[in-house]
Amino acid sequence: MKISVVGTGYVGLVTGVSLAEMGQNVTCIDIDTAKINKLKQGISPIYEPQIEEMMHKNLAAQRLTFSLDQDVNYNDFDLIYLAVGTPENPDGSADLTYINTTVNRITQDLQHATIVVTKSTVPVGTNAKIKALLNQNGAYTVEVVSNPEFLREGSAVHDVFHADRLILGSDSQAAMAVVEAVNAPYKTTVIKTTFASAELIKYASNAFLATKISFVNEIANICEATGANIQAVSQGMGLDTRIGNKFLKAGIGYGGSCFPKDTAALLQIAQQNRIDFPILEATIKTNQQQQLHLVERLMQYYPDLTGKKIAILGAAFKPGTDDIREAPALRIIQTLLEKGARVAVYDPIALDNVREIFGEAIEYCLKIETALEACEAALIATEWSSIQKLNAVTIKNKMRRPLILDGRAALLSLAELNDIEYAVVGQKG
Ligand code: UDX
């Protein structure tokens, strides 16, 4: 099959490369010339384990090519995947500009029937609209299949090959059968449903996981107040198979490109349909508060932070990625600066992205030791393995005051915790 994937962001690139890996003939398309030029050379614009090796292999085998949108004819493909971004509008709804321009662009070329597969996360009702747009001239039928993506950054390639389920939504059984056949090597449970249900499965899944995190973070706050221990509590809860042990790790809240955006978009969908969604509102509010939880605890030690050097260990929204979108570390740094503190941030791969936001206002450290040097406290915002390897000797030698506030339970297994001042989310300090 000849397949095109429009959009070479996280979802598009990983989808395209994985389909090529499965033996399909894939063209990944974008409007960004610099990005396409890099991709042609085998350089990935995203940091993602395995992706470049897989790109090199499939480029060499000529199963994978990269093209500028203006250089392709969409007539040439049996399947066209839409994987363009749907960023957040100021009111929280999803911005469908890229979806609309791509669909218009495809209709300009198309002269025969084909199948368009939507990977982008789009509000309920969008795939039906996409289908109507694609079939405006009525000379042939373009089928549309909603195929939401559930991959996680940092383990995206692994997730594609080990997906829990394949969700297909369409009003055409034949089109869903084609997409199912393309994905057959993935071997997973296939759910075939309508456009609307497939669209909602994606939002409901992300919102549910975000709610699980906010719930456990509220329980963590109760633990801090009552002397209970969140590690014990979430372990005890997670052993109940009805609850499950995943996404029960308390900390300083979720970030990233999906949970904040998708929870806001689902809330918008509810509001547009005049449906109250208080649980989701609380999930979002709790997460915003939780991102600043460490700052509140820090201020119990230092009511006045003016001139104090504070180290931030980890900036990425989670380990294994250089993505800092909606990362708790950003709000922590911003708040500390507003309170007059001096900030030194350590991250193994995300520093360039942080520099774009804070410029000369803070210090950037490629070594943890440099960030810790003569600081009054260190706040752990990401559980990078390099941070988990910290030891009490380094902490005591480098820091002016060996005070660690751990937002990701990264140092819990450190043997010499009694030698330092240590407080972790979900336990009394
Ligand atoms: C998420 C979904 O998992 C994925 O299915 C969807 O396609 C995109 O959104 P991702 O954003 O890559 O993936 O990250 P994920 O690993 O899910 O973590 C999201 C955030 O939640 C991170 O900031 C992480 O630190 C936080 N988190 C996760 C917790 O605070 N506690 C947990 O128990 C799990």
Query: Sorting pLDDT into bands at 50, 70 and 90, what band is 323?
Result: very high
Give the separation between CA 424 and CA 251, rounded to whole angstroms. 8
What pLDDT score was predicted for residue 419?
A: 85
Of residues 137 and 331, the one with the higher pLDDT is 331
Distance CA 3, CA 167 (A): 19
The structure tokens listed for 37 are 């030029």
Q: Is the domain 202-289 a CATH 1.10.1040.10 member?
A: yes
**Alpha carbon distance 207, 265 (integer Å):** 10
Would the CB of 256 count as within 6 Å of ligand 1? yes
Q: 83 vs 4, 120, 407, CA distance in Å?
A: 10, 5, 33
Q: How far apart are the first and last CA of the chain?
A: 59
Mean pLDDT across the chain, nearest whole number? 95
Residue 379 has pLDDT above 90, yes or no: yes
Would the CA dihedral through 70, 75, 76, 82 be positive or negative?
positive
Q: How high is the pLDDT of residue 137?
A: 81
3-state helix/strand/coil string of 65-115: EEEEHHHCCHHHCCEEEECCCCCECCCCCECCHHHHHHHHHHHHHCCCCCE
| 259 pocket-lining for ligand 1 (C-beta < 6 Å) | yes
Query: What architecture is the 2-193 domain classified under in CATH?
Result: 3-Layer(aba) Sandwich (3.40)
Instruction: Give the number of the atom of ligand 1 that is nearest the alpha carbon of residue 258.
Output: 9
| pLDDT(2) > 80 | yes
Distance 221 CA to ligand 1 centre (A): 20
| Sign of the dihedral through C-alpha 43, 47, 48, 49 | positive
- Which residue among 47, 213, 234 has the greatest number of ligand 1 atoms within 8 angstroms of its CB, and so is best to mutate? 213
39 near 48, Cβ under 8 Å?
A: no
pLDDT in tens, 96-136: 999 999 999 999 999 999 999 999 999 999 999 999 999 98
Q: What separation in Å is there between the alpha carbon of 265 and the centre of ligand 1?
A: 17
The closest residue, in CA terms, to atom 6 on ligand 1 is 150
Nearest CA among 129, 144, 198 for reference residue 168: 198
Using a 6 Å cutoff on CB, does residue 260 contact ligand 1? Answer: no
Same fold, 2-193 and 202-289: no
List, for residues 16-43, the tens digit of each pLDDT value. Answer: 999 999 999 999 999 999 999 999 999 9
With the most atoms of ligand 1 within 8 angstroms of its CB, the residue from 317, 323, 326, 387 to mutate is 317
CA dihedral angle for residue 347, residue 352, residue 358, residue 362, rounded to 10 degrees: 50
pLDDT-above-90 percentage for the chain: 92
Alpha-carbon distance of 230 to 426, in angstroms, equals 5
Whether ligand 1 lies within 6 angstroms of the CB of 192 is answered as: no
32 touches 98 (CB < 8 A)? no
Residue among 32, 29, 38, 120 at smallest CA distance from 73: 29
Q: What residue type is 32 in one-letter code?
A: D
Q: 122 CA distance to ligand 1 centroid (A)? A: 19
Q: What is the per-residue pLDDT for 92?
A: 87
pLDDT in tens, 160-204: 999 999 999 999 999 999 999 999 988 899 999 999 999 999 999
The C-alpha atoms of residue 188 and residue 321 are separated, in whole angstroms, by 26
Residue with the nearest Cα to atom 31 of ligand 1? 249
Contact 426, 224 (CB under 8 A): yes
Kindly give the distance from the C-alpha atom of residue 326 to the centroid of ligand 1, in angstroms, as a whole number. 12
Ligand 1 site, residue 211, Cβ cutoff 6 A? no
What's phi and psi for 219, nearest 5 deg? -65, -35
Could you tell me if 44 and 28 are in contact, meaning their C-beta atoms sit under 8 angstroms apart?
Answer: no
Nearest CA to ligand 1 atom 5: 150
Residue 220 near residue 237, CB atoms below 8 Å:
no
* Confidence (pTM): 0.95
Residue 289's contacts (CB-CB under 8 Å, 6 or more residues apart) are none
Q: Is any ligand 1 atom within 6 A of the Cβ of residue 262?
A: no
Tens-digit pLDDT profile for residues 198-228: 999 999 999 999 999 999 999 999 999 999 9
Q: Which pLDDT score, from 0 to 100, does residue 52 have?
A: 94
**What is the ipTM for the molecules in this complex?**
0.97
Task: Name the catalytic one among 28, 223, 258, 375.
Answer: 258
Q: What is the pLDDT of residue 392?
A: 92
Q: Under CATH, domain 291-424 is a member of which superfamily?
A: NAD(P)-binding Rossmann-like Domain (3.40.50.720)
Model pLDDT, residue 178 = 98
> SS3 of 192, please?
strand
Where does the pLDDT of residue 94 fall: very low under 50, low under 70, confident under 90, or very high at 90 and above?
confident
Residue 117, beta-bridge partner list: 81, 145
Query: Cβ(112)–Cβ(137) under 8 Å?
Result: no
Q: State the distance from the centre of ligand 1 to the C-alpha of 216, rounded, in angstroms.
A: 14
Ligand 1 mean position, distance from CA 119 (Å): 18
Check if the beta carbon of residue 118 is closer than 8 Å to that of residue 147.
Answer: yes
Indicate the pLDDT class of residue 429, thresholds 50, 70 and 90.
confident
Cβ-based burial of 21 (10 A; exposed 0-12, middle 13-18, buried ≥19): buried
- CA 213 to ligand 1 center in whole angstroms: 9
In this predicted structure, the answer to whether residue 415 has a pLDDT above a threshold of 90 is: no
Cβ–ligand 1 distance for 249 under 6 Å, the answer yes
Q: What radius of gyration, in Å, describes the C-alpha atoms of the chain?
A: 23
pLDDT for res 83: 97
Annotation says 258 is catalytic: yes
Domain boundaries, given as residue ranges, for the chain:
2-193, 202-289, 291-424
CB 313 within 8 A of CB 383: no
| Atom nearest to 317 CA in ligand 1 | 23
The pLDDT score that the predictor gives to residue 338 is 98
Q: Percent of the chain at pLDDT above 70?
A: 100
82 pLDDT higher than 90:
yes
Comparing CA positions, the residue from 226, 233, 224 lying closest to residue 429 is: 224
Atom in ligand 1 nearest the alpha carbon of residue 321: 12
